[in-house]
Amino acid sequence: MPTILITGANRGIGRALAQSYLQDGWRVFAASRQPSESLIEGAESLALDLSNPTSIQELKLRLVDIPIDIVWNNAGVYLDKNQPLEQVDNNDWLRSFEINCIAPIRIAETLAENVSMSERKVIAFTTSKMASLAVNGARAYAYRSSKTALNMAVRCFAKDQEAQDISCLLLHPGHVRTDMGGPEGDIDIATSITGMRTVVDQINPTCMANMDEGYFNYDGSRIPW
């Protein structure tokens, strides 16, 4: 049975991903800060506080010797949504980097051994089109810069994992109608999940991810760096 671990699995895209893989017969580890508040039937809930390095290390101990085909770093925050620069709090900016960039890399580092033991060997990261330097926009300083930093950090991490045949890939889920995306989103969750899974599920050691031409949009197209 293939196995996946998904962070931020308590709501929105993360929860929908967990349910989608469960329906296809996968073993699903659903990680979130308060898993007891939003249990997913059939998934194995894990407590994970992205702002706490000890919590990330405890995750490693909980999963020791378990092969994980896909680790999907999905959890993230958008703390400065609709805020002009003068209203962006420095602590929120720093927390954006902590949650959106540093924590996903530390989780990937912590679980790389589990992934290397699997058949698929994939670590996926949910990023954003708003991180692209080529497709730049206004405002969202904390969110944009933290996701751009994530993109660079993942590319560095991917280089370090090449010898293990681990593929790292970055995906933009689209502007989805969720709590984070808002009711004005362009697509629904089902469209986003189906598209991203089409990209992720074809990756394995014989078909490795290549992001030289940009990172992945939910529909498989490329977003320039």
Name the nearest CA neighbour of 74 among 145, 142, 169: 169
Say which range, 17-21, 36-40, 100-104, 107-111, has the weakest mean pLDDT: 36-40
**Is 3-223 assigned to CATH 3.40.50.720?**
yes
66-80 per-position pLDDT tens digit: 999 999 999 999 999
Place of tokens 């989805």: 176
117-140 per-position pLDDT tens digit: 999 999 999 999 999 999 989 999
Q: What is the pLDDT of residue 184?
A: 67
6-50 per-position pLDDT tens digit: 999 999 999 999 999 999 999 999 999 987 766 789 999 999 999
160-184 per-position pLDDT tens digit: 999 999 999 999 999 987 665 556 6
Q: What is the pLDDT of residue 178?
A: 65
d(CA 20, CA 14): 10
Angle made by CA atoms 105, 25, 77, in degrees to the nearest 5: 30
Maximum separation of any 2 CA atoms in the chain, in Å? 51
Q: Where are the domains of the chain?
A: 3-223
Q: What is the pLDDT of residue 215?
A: 98
Compare 210 and 186 and report the one with higher pLDDT.
Answer: 210
Tokens, residue 56: 């990330």
What's the pTM value of the predicted model, to 2 decimals? 0.95
Q: How confident is the model at residue 158 (pLDDT cuts 50, 70, 90)?
A: very high
